[in-house]
Homo-oligomer: A and B are copies of this chain.
Amino acid sequence: MTQRPISRDAIITRMDTYIAIDIGGTHIRAGLYPAEGIEPICVERIHTQGKKGSSLERLFEVITRIWPEKDTVRCVGLAAPGYIDPHHGVIILAPNIPHWDHLPLQQLVTEKFNVPALLGNDANLAAMGEWRYGAGKGFHQLLYLTISTGIGAGVIINDNLLLGAHGLASELGHITILPDGPICGCGKKGHLEALSSGTAIARYVTAQISAGRDSLLKDEKEITSYKVALAAQANDGLSKEAVSRAGFYLGIGIANFLQTFNPAVVILGGGVSRSGPLFWDSMHQSLATHILSQEYLRDLQILPADLGDDAGLVGALALAHTCAL
């Protein structure tokens, strides 16, 4: 028997890689990752909508851009906003992306690139990212809330992402906690998002100024929650009231969620969660008032999110990693 010479091709080591995609209303971000860790090999960004090509074509383009020349892609993980059916990889409703309702995105990516793909809701996947690689590492029962223009959530129960029968679980921003309260972005009344999000804070101040209240912000053309936070720090009465009101209702919401899930850790992300102590003191005071029993606060950790704006991308990566399981 003669020994076959080793060909040069066989010496080249093909590395396993993963691709993670975070699809937002404004941008699509795509990252190429090595087999382990969350340090990307490269990240690319593209506008979700534009003159050239549909959103789907733009998604395909950004995937093509980061596709490795020689290495193997094991799986593409996709985080998308809106109602997602993660069991079938279908976007049911994408409020901010035209023509994406009922889009079988997982299948389309698989067919285009001949690679396994998995799809999840962006807030759910951000929770998964924080749990696998961020502030929630090592916890088995986790509640994640992201408080920015809206309020998104994800829940880990016994080391599994809560999905529900159709993957629509943990829409906690749209829990009614004040039946006759302000209108939410979704059109319903008194949701947590309509009371404690950045949009809610800005709207409250705008409405109060329209009703004749005085404020440092009364001559602002467009009031944002960031401006309200700054005005509150400058001791503006109305802004302080708006910020602490948002914290108050968030405290009710978190009390409800603690009694619902009894998590070991609550992780808070999003811009509003980086508001000052006025917001947090108000939230903590309201939580202490509304919680059914101090038992829910025993050993509970309330932590800021670790991954910042990368939570969705890292979550999509964590989802892609489950392909290999």
Contact = CB atoms under 8 A, between A and B. Distances in A.
Interface in A19-59: none
A256 B299 contact: no
Specify the main secondary structure of chain A where it touches its partner. Answer: loop
Given A164-B141, A260-B260, A261-B164, A295 B92 contact: yes
Given A186-B292, A292-B188, A295-B92, A260 B175 contact: yes
Interface string A171-188: 110111111000000101
Chain A, interface residues (CB within 8 Å), range: 35 or more
A181 to B, nearest CB: 9
Contacts of A255: 176
A168 B259 contact: yes
Interface string A259-295: 1111110000000000000000000000000101101
Number of copies of this kind of chain in the complex: 2
Contacts of A163: 262
A171 B259 contact: yes
Given A177-B177, A179-B252, 14 more contacts: A83-B295, A140-B165, A157-B157, A164-B261, A165-B263, A165-B300, A166-B262, A168-B293, A168-B296, A171-B260, A174-B259, A174-B292, A176-B256, A188-B290
